[in-house]
Amino acid sequence: MDEKIKALLVGVNLNDDPDFENALKELESLAEACDMEVVGVETQNVSQINTGVYVGTGKVDEIKAVAHMLNADVVIFDNTLSPMQLRNLKDIIERPILDRTNLILQIFSSRAQTREAKIQVETARLQYELPRLTGMGEVLSRQGGTSGGMSNRGAGETKLELDKRKIRHRISELKKELKIVEKNRETQRKRRLIQGIPQVALVGYTNAGKSTLMNALLDKYEQKDEKKVLAEDMLFATLDTTIRSIHLPDKKEFLISDTVGFINKLPHNLVQAFHSTLEEVKYADLLLEIVDYSDENHKDQMKVTEDTLRELGAEQIPCIHVYNKCDGIIEPLPQIRGDDIYMAAKRGIGLEELVEMISSHIYQNYVDCVMLIPYTEGALVSYFSENATVKETEYLAEGTKLTMNCLLKDLKKYKQYVVR
């Protein structure tokens, strides 16, 4: 088994930032998600950032000594470093230097599965590296083929010696390829909109339980293992948008999508690169914001989610707040308070109640009606049997009488058969 890379973390508390401790804990989780071993944490309180080395000059020497004492392989800073800061810190500390953005990019690289995700990650990574080529030689060389979390698995095997001209050319190629993929996605999206099936999007902070909830719904209503998505207790287990159909017992159907999770200080170039993927939420009829209620910072995480939705232009879409992982915290479960539900998806607690809440939002365009359909229109009876909730069927001399709950558009389309 390969030995894990040892990481020393560095956090700078600027003007007594109330989120400082949370951000530092999250940095540790990011390092662990990158398969690194955190061997130490160094912090400093400052009133302004040092433009040359980010921390105070005396602190740099201290970090160098601690890194040497702990035999750290890499030093990771909890913010994005400028090219000059990166270069200066590497020269002084004499170890590879990473920042939060680089760390998140590495995690995305290792998680990307589809061609679209790989293109998006590689584009974001190259845009990050382009102004930092001079100071990143050793860091990047470690990404090429070494063991552990520094590996750059899955994001394309970009050679470290690429000069700026080659990188710009590669970015241009990737953007062209991404446009083709996005066009295909747009075609699929239009097809779904034409079908008129309601769309529900799962959104929320990374590792809040979005994929777990989707799998729980698939288990209950679809019972097909091949439709399940990867659900792991780790940051950014899901990068690709996955869309599945949920068929309810009353024959109603909706589409549910699982998207990449959000995180505090998500690099802007990643948001840009994944814009076409994240944009799926804009076309949803309903959002389910999944919240890890067991996390003491869940309110801050909700703010990050809501800020990201605002950036995507999706803040006006109706939303149900799904407070997940409530078992052992709130009893009894589930509990419903307006558009909020407290539940435990992994244990299957609250699924039926959540589906009822979803239905009340997305099936407002369904109406009760009675139709008398001639026997010559047997295909239409079959259509309603599959696409409406038929409450009663009577066979009369004039035809088949259906008492049902159907789509308003179907009522209008076949209004000649409506008897009441």
* CB-side neighbour CA atoms (13 Å) of 90: 20
- Nearest-5° angle of CA 107, CA 182, CA 119? 30
Report the C-alpha gap between 118 and 112 in whole angstroms: 5
State the pairing for strand pair 286-292/319-324.
parallel
Tokens representing 386 are 């599959």
pTM above 0.95, yes or no: no
Among candidates 6, 176, 146, which has minimal Cα distance to 75? 6
For residue 242, the surrounding DSSP H or E stretch is strand 242-247
- What's the residue count for the chain? 420
The confidence score (pLDDT) of residue 72 equals 97
Q: Which letter does DSSP use for residue 63 in this model? A: H
Write the CB contacts of 61 (distance below 8 Å, at least 6 apart in sequence). 92
Segment-wise mean pLDDT, segments of 10 residues, the chain, 420 residues: 88 92 91 93 95 94 97 95 94 95 88 84 90 57 43 46 80 92 81 78 91 92 67 59 86 86 78 72 92 94 91 90 96 96 96 95 88 96 89 95 90 93
Q: From residue 192, give the alpha-carbon distance in Å to each of 99, 189, 196, 367.
A: 40, 5, 7, 22
The confidence score (pLDDT) of residue 140 equals 44
Report the C-alpha gap between 21 and 416 in whole angstroms: 66
Tell me which amino acid residue 130 is: L
State the pairing for strand pair 199-204/366-373.
unpaired
Write the CB contacts of 257 (distance below 8 Å, at least 6 apart in sequence). 199, 200, 201, 202, 241, 242, 243, 244, 280, 281, 284
Do 102 and 150 meet the contact criterion of CB atoms below 8 Å apart? no
Report the C-alpha gap between 137 and 124 in whole angstroms: 18
The confidence score (pLDDT) of residue 225 equals 61
Report the C-alpha gap between 364 and 152 in whole angstroms: 47
Write the CB contacts of 195 (distance below 8 Å, at least 6 apart in sequence). none
The confidence score (pLDDT) of residue 355 equals 96
Among candidates 356, 366, 414, which has minimal Cα distance to 390? 366
The confidence score (pLDDT) of residue 184 equals 84
The confidence score (pLDDT) of residue 298 equals 94
Q: From residue 81, give the alpha-carbon distance in Å to each of 97, 148, 257.
A: 9, 23, 34
Whether the bond between 374 and the residue before it is cis, its omega within 30 degrees of 0, is no
Whether the bond between 83 and the residue before it is cis, its omega within 30 degrees of 0, is no
Domains along the sequence of the chain with CATH: 1-179 (3.40.50.11060), 196-362 (3.40.50.300), 366-417 (no CATH)
State the pairing for strand pair 242-247/253-258.
antiparallel
Report the C-alpha gap between 349 and 333 in whole angstroms: 7
Q: Which letter does DSSP use for residue 350 in this model? A: T
Report the C-alpha gap between 415 and 409 in whole angstroms: 10
**How far is CA 11 from its chain centroid?**
26
The confidence score (pLDDT) of residue 234 equals 55
